[in-house]
């Protein structure tokens, strides 16, 4: 599948298989994540203004992934454009997380590491990596590629802009 400046390829990539952080796992209801206050109720995760009393205490799959440093998506940013627009790009990444997290509460940033010429972004699930890549290309143009691991919910993305 190819769009302007965007290539999506499906191929085998090397990544640990299996998902010990299965987000369909059933918890007693209501359950409350002790780390981020996310509520598990009616079979799904929701942000609630009113935290239910007597909720079971859990660590939600997103917080567990962050704690264990186990990503579902990885994005590598490269190119000379990066160094000049670093703060702006970090903001764009954080804003994208904030927007996605409202509707998809398990979609979180795990880390942003930068060393001037490269930036590595890791997210809890593949959806957020894809959204960040798309947001970057929309705002900053450049070249964007995705590769998915077959049969696994894992994505690697690569974005580059020089000028
Ligand atoms: Zn949590």
More reliable by pLDDT, 156 or 153: 156
The model's pLDDT over 31-69, given as tens digits with 9 standing for 90+, comes to 999 999 999 998 899 999 998 889 999 999 999 999 999
The helix (H) or strand (E) run that includes residue 137 is: helix 126-140
Distance 102 CA to ligand 1 centre (A): 13
DSSP-assigned letters across all residues of 66-132: HHHT--SEEEEEESHHHHHTHHHHHHHHHHHHHHHHHHSTT--EEEEEE-SSEEEEEESSHHHHHHH
The number of residues in the chain equals 163
Q: Which of 28, 46, 32, 17 is nearest to 106 (CA)?
A: 46
Residue 118 tokens, joined: 């490269």
pLDDT at 116 (0 to 100) = 72
Distance 53 CA to ligand 1 centre (A): 17
For the sheet containing 56-58, what is the strand order?
44-46, 39-41, 31-33, 56-58
**The overall pTM is greater than 0.85:** no
Distance 97 CA to ligand 1 centre (A): 15
Distance 163 CA to ligand 1 centre (A): 39
The model's pLDDT over 2-26, given as tens digits with 9 standing for 90+, comes to 445 444 444 333 334 445 555 556 7
Distance 57 CA to ligand 1 centre (A): 10
């Amino acid at each position: 599948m190819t769009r302007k400046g965007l290539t999506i390829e499906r191929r085998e990539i090397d990544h640990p298989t299996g998902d010990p952080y299965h987000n369909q796992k059933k918890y007693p209801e209501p359950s409350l994540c002790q780390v981020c206050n996310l509520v598990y109720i009616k079979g799904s995760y929701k942000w609630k203004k009113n935290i239910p009393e007597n909720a079971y205490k859990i660590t939600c799959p997103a917080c567990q992934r962050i704690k264990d440093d186990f990503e579902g998506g990885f994005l590598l940013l490269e190119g000379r454009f990066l160094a000049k627009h670093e703060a702006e790009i970090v903001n764009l990444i954080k804003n994208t997380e904030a927007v996605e997290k409202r509707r998809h509460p398990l979609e979180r940033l795990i880390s942003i590491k930068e060393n001037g010429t490269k930036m590595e972004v890791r997210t809890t699930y593949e959806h957020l990596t894809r959204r960040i890549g798309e947001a970057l290309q929309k705002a900053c143009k450049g070249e964007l590629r995705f590769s998915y691991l077959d049969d696994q919910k894992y994505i690697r993305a690569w974005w580059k802009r020089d000028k």
